[in-house]
């Protein structure tokens, strides 16, 4: 008997059913071929080195998202097939075993995904497999935006906005009609394809921090709807007026859902438009919520059009800066042990909960790089990749370059003070008391600067510096001025090098 051909939808950063054009393509292909019978296999590949690449909190978020995706797919009378192995080795074998004729997936710019796609394309061509990739991770097709700018990367937000003004954003789509049993392959009920538990992946879930932001499409949609119902809040939203150190987040925390594709950026866009169109006035980009979403589009466009976007060397938009190396300082920063309570509280919140406010990211990124420690933004980006639930290849690199004044932002003389910045929105230091409990009993006047507290105060508060909490690893007042000089010199050298490269007229 002739084997029944299969259609694969390969889920990666599109862990959702709603507004999933590529999944709809796969389903349509199976439906159209129903009288000839085709099997549908929605797959997700868990790579063997996942534990080295994805931090614990993000791995939990991913597994929760996969469980939710599987349950949403089952409502359509199909399921998620989890495959374990290296995608570029495993999929070609399955192409033969499953008689794959058609493969659909989301078009992404993440470098790992681009590299995988290159390999798969080559195999598919040889095996005569039809591949469909759809733009659905961003509001705009960033490659078309680049084309509109003659292939050049828009280096400012305003330039980017001018390029997308007038582009009609298509409506989102829904997939609601269940598939027939004909689409189920014979091994449909095999447990081998079930979503693994964290234990299966070698993680002890009970040892993890409490889960503050559970993963999944259902959670993402609920969170979006909850915020969109607060119309006044949305219309008045101005990012600089939100707080980096409130105990509960002052922004939406939709980022982990958007990054994993549990939530469609296009749906977010249309919901925001709906709220804005129904209001007499609302805030505007760059500070509005729509403006935040446009920052994402901006960095995606820059990431798509720039070689080596996540590196300094070989990256044409990145200023070359002779960063230093200091593993001890890097470790102290990553573990929240710098002796600067505001910086440490942020880094500990990041490690525990997987999300920190944008301005908190500003604070710690500036501190690590041009502000205090003079360590490369690439090192900071790696730590963020490990800890962030919302880790995103282009947003992480783009924002790190911004904060280190390596690209997009050039006012390197504007340095965040690890003492004054946090005080603006949290005079009492409640945020520090929560995340750096050693300092919980410190009098308010010393909570941001414990090194100023007399020994007797330290003893009474139960936290002696150098014993219970580290002494500060650098003196900000002194070091940030020295670093500013180094930035100035680096800028000068880059300018001279650029001038030398320019052809003489
Ligand atoms: C050093 C550094 C690294 C960062 N790394 C990441 C990352 O890996 N992944 C990530 O999603 N964001 C990253 N950001 C951007 C930003 O901090 C987060 O997107 C934002 O804080 C997420 O919280 P939210 O969902 O509550 O944002 P909101 O203020 O509610 O904004 C809504 C959405 O807009 C987008 N957005 C908001 N701010 C930005 C921004 N500055 N750049 C791009 N998109 C934005 C996000 O998708 C966000 O979910 C980084 C920022 C810095 C300074």
Report the mean per-residue pLDDT for the chain.
97
User: pLDDT (tens digit, 9 = 90+) per residue, 309-320?
Assistant: 999 999 999 999
Q: Are 216 and 63 in contact (CB under 8 A)?
A: no
Per DSSP, what are the bridge partners of residue 131?
103
Helices assigned H by DSSP within 208-288: 217-228, 231-236, 255-259, 265-277
Q: Which residue(s) pair with 103 in the sheet?
A: 8, 131
- As beta bridge partners, residue 324 has 375
pLDDT band at 367; cut points 50, 70, 90: very high
Name the band, by pLDDT with cuts 50, 70 and 90, for residue 2. Answer: low
Query: Ligand 1: which of 399, 409, 416 to mutate, judged by most atoms within 8 Å of the beta carbon?
Result: 399
Asked if residue 476 has a cis previous peptide bond (ω within 30° of 0), the answer is no
Residue-level pLDDT at 3: 85
Domains of the chain, first to last: 1-136 (3.40.50.620), 138-172+219-305 (1.25.40.80), 327-492 (1.10.579.10)
Residue 292 CB–ligand 1 contact under 6 Å: yes
Q: Which helix (H) or strand (E) holds 6?
A: strand 6-10
* Ligand 1 pocket residue status of 387, Cβ below 6 Å: no
391 lines ligand 1 (CB under 6 A): yes
d(CA 258, CA 300): 13
3-state secondary structure string, 429-497?
CHHHHHHCHHHCCCCHHHCCCHHHCCHHHHHHCCCCECCCECCCCCCHHHHHHHHHHHHHHHHHHHHHH
Of ligand 1's listed atoms, the one at least distance from the Cα of 258 is 47
Cα distances from 499 to residues 153, 350, 392, 492, in angstroms, run 20, 41, 34, 11
For 260-308, the pLDDT digits (tens) are 999 999 999 999 999 999 999 999 999 999 999 999 999 999 999 999 9
CB distance 147 to 118 below 8 Å? no
User: What are the pLDDT digits (tens) for 184-200?
Assistant: 999 999 999 999 999 99
Note the pLDDT tens digit of each residue in 157-168.
999 999 999 999
**Nearest one of 171, 167, 172 to 142, comparing CA atoms:** 167
For ligand 1, whether the C-beta of 384 sits within 6 Å is yes
């Amino acid at each position: 008997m002739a084997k029944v051909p299969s259609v694969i939808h390969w889920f990666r950063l599109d862990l959702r059913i709603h507004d999933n054009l590529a999944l709809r393509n796969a389903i349509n292909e199976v439906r159209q071929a129903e009288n000839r019978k085709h099997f549908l296999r929605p797959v997700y590949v868990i790579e063997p080195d996942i534990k080295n690449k994805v931090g614990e909190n993000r791995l939990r978020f991913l597994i929760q998202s996969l469980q939710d995706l599987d349950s949403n797919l089952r409502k359509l009378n199909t399921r998620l097939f989890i495959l374990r192995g290296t995608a570029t080795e495993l999929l070609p074998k399955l192409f033969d075993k499953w008689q794959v004729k058609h493969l659909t997936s989301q078009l992404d710019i993440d470098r790992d995904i681009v590299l995988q796609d290159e390999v798969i394309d080559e195999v598919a061509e040889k095996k005569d497999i039809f591949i469909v990739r759809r733009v659905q991770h961003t509001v705009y097709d960033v490659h078309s935006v680049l084309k509109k700018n003659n292939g050049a990367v828009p280096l400012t937000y305003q330039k980017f906005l001018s390029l997308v003004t007038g582009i009609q954003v298509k409506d989102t789509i829904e997939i609601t009609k269940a598939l027939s049993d004909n689409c189920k392959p014979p091994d449909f009920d095999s447990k081998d394809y079930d979503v693994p538990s964290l234990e299966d992946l070698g993680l002890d879930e009970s040892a993890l921090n409490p889960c503050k932001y559970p993963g999944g499409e259902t959670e993402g949609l609920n969170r979006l709807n909850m915020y969109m119902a607060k119309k006044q809040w949305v219309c008045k939203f101005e990012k600089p007026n939100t707080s980096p150190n409130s105990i509960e987040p002052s922004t939406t925390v939709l980022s982990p859902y958007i990054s994993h594709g549990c939530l469609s950026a296009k749906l977010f866009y249309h919901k925001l438009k709906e709220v804005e169109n129904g209001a007499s006035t609302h805030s505007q980009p760059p500070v509005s919520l729509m403006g935040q979403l446009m920052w994402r589009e901006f960095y995606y466009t820059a990431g798509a059009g720039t070689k080596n976007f996540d590196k300094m060397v070989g990256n044409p938009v990145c200023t070359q800066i002779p960063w230093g190396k200091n593993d001890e300082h890097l470790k102290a920063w990553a573990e929240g042990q710098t002796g600067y309570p505001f910086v440490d509280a942020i880094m500990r919140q990041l490690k525990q909960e997987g999300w920190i406010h944008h301005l908190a990211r500003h604070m710690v990124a500036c501190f690590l790089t041009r502000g205090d420690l003079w360590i490369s933004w690439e090192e900071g980006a790696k730590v963020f990749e490990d800890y962030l639930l919302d880790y995103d290849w282009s947003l992480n690199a783009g924002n790190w370059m911004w904060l280190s004044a390596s690209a997009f932002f050039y006012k390197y003389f504007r340095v965040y003070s690890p003492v004054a910045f946090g005080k603006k929105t949290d005079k009492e230091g409640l945020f520090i008391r929560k995340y750096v409990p050693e300092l919980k009993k410190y009098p308010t006047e010393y909570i941001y600067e414990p090194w100023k507290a007399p020994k007797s105060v330290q003893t009474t508060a139960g936290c002696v510096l150098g014993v219970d909490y580290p002494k500060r690893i650098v003196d900000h007042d002194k070091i940030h001025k020295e670093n500013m000089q180094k930035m100035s010199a680096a800028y000068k050298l880059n300018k001279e090098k650029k001038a030398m490269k320019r052809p003489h007229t």
